[in-house]
Amino acid sequence: MQHEIKKFEEVTNLVDALHIKDIKNPEHQSYIFKTQTYELLIVRFVELDDDGLKGVSTPYLITKDGIFRYNRALDNFSKLKNHLELLNSITKHLQHCEWLVKKYIEETDTLEDGLYTRKIPSIFLDVWFDLKKDLTRVDRIFERVEEVLIDYNDIYRQNTNFPHDDFSNIIEHIRRYQKLANLNAAKLDTLYSYYNSLKNDKINNNIYILTVLSGIFLPLNLVVGFFGMNTENLFFAGDQNGTLNVVSILIGMFITLLVLFPIAKFIERALLQKVLGRFSLYNKLVKNIKKNNKFW
């Protein structure tokens, strides 16, 4: 639909200089200004470009001559017929934001699946931070838009031509996607905690391996140090097979210690699983389902 185009100066000739500055500001937060001669409604949603997520505001000027939407690219105003057209214009911006939120949710789900299947990207923290930052920002922007639109509704709700149903739909959509953004931001906190747990487990496993190696080689070093002492009457000192005996002792100890640690770990695991009652989550679930479902 073609709208009547008005020059910037023609519409803003009675507008306060500070409000003109607000209209020109592309990232002005959502706000509504009410004066005796006009109302300035600014709604701020989000857009995505190569530099990331950014807030973009759309000003609406409501005067006795009509309702005007500011066209930032052309630096002019389009005259709207009524409040329904204003809300339809806001709905278009909201639909784009909803699409963006869905894409961020998909990226969060992909990150979650990779984490739970141990296919963790090397840039996990970078991706996590960008998702967390942007979803938190979307939540904050939606919250502010909702507050401003409620104030806008309070001003014009006595107007018999005001489209209350369309306004309610907009508020419902804002709340729904604000909740989704908030829930996925909370999910990212859970993923971060789980990621740290995996990193800590890996560090603990590395420490365990170092401990095992130390437990194996320290006794061997002790034996080598003992037979390396420059003292009289040392074992095998006069034996022509002394070196072979010492090497045999070292190999025997090495094999014993190498086998001993896995056996001890196996016994510990079996003890924890059977004696202390640790068992598979899936086995427990299947048993409960079979017990409570006669059709199983």
Mean pLDDT of 274-295: 61
pLDDT on residue 273: 60
Where does the pLDDT of residue 274 fall: very low under 50, low under 70, confident under 90, or very high at 90 and above? low
pLDDT on residue 281: 59
Percent of the residues in the chain that have a pLDDT greater than 90, as a whole number:
51
Where does the pLDDT of residue 205 fall: very low under 50, low under 70, confident under 90, or very high at 90 and above? confident
Provide the angle, in degrees to the nearest 10, between the axes of the packed helices 83-116 and 124-156.
160
Residues shown for the chain? 296
pLDDT on residue 187: 94
Q: Which residues contact 198 (CB under 8 A, 6 or more apart)?
A: 115, 118, 120
User: What count of other Cβ atoms lies within 10 Å of the Cβ of residue 81?
Assistant: 12
Q: Which residues contact 63 (CB under 8 A, 6 or more apart)?
A: 11, 14, 37, 38
Where does the pLDDT of residue 90 fall: very low under 50, low under 70, confident under 90, or very high at 90 and above? very high
Instruction: Please state, in angstroms and rounded to a whole number, the distance separating the CA atoms of residues 3 and 5.
Output: 6
pLDDT on residue 219: 76
Instruction: Please state, in angstroms and rounded to a whole number, the distance separating the CA atoms of residues 30 and 44.
Output: 5
* Burial of residue 170 (number of CB atoms within 10 Å: 0-12, 13-18, 19+): buried
Where does the pLDDT of residue 233 fall: very low under 50, low under 70, confident under 90, or very high at 90 and above? low
Quickly list DSSP for 25-43.
Answer: -TTPPSEEEE-SSEEEEEE
* Average of per-residue pLDDT values in the chain: 85
Mean pLDDT of 257-282: 66
The yes-or-no verdict on residue 275 having pLDDT over 70 is no
Instruction: Please state, in angstroms and rounded to a whole number, the distance separating the CA atoms of residues 126 and 122.
Output: 9
Mean pLDDT of 134-161: 92
3-state percent breakdown (helix, strand, coil) of the chain, nearest 5: 65, 15, 20
Condensed to tens digits (0 to 9), the pLDDT of residues 207-224 reads 878 887 787 777 778 777
Condensed to tens digits (0 to 9), the pLDDT of residues 22-64 reads 999 998 999 999 999 999 999 999 988 888 888 899 999 999 9
The yes-or-no verdict on residue 183 having pLDDT over 90 is yes
Rounded (5°) CA angle 92-95-100: 135
Check if the beta carbon of residue 58 is closer than 8 Å to that of residue 23: no
Cα 94 to Cα 71, 98, 173, 174, 271: the distances in Å are 17, 6, 8, 8, 58
Mean pLDDT of 250-256: 81
Q: Which two tokens stand for residue 216?
A: 């194996």
pLDDT on residue 157: 86
Check if the beta carbon of residue 253 is closer than 8 Å to that of residue 220: yes
Cα 247 to Cα 159, 176, 220, 259: the distances in Å are 100, 74, 10, 18
Instruction: Please state, in angstroms and rounded to a whole number, the distance separating the CA atoms of residues 16 and 11.
Output: 12
Lowest-confidence range among 46-55, 73-82, 114-123, 269-278? 269-278
Mean pLDDT of 264-276: 66
pLDDT on residue 293: 66
Strand partners, 218: none
Handedness of CA 240, 241, 243, 245 (dihedral sign): negative
**More confident position, 279 or 141:** 141
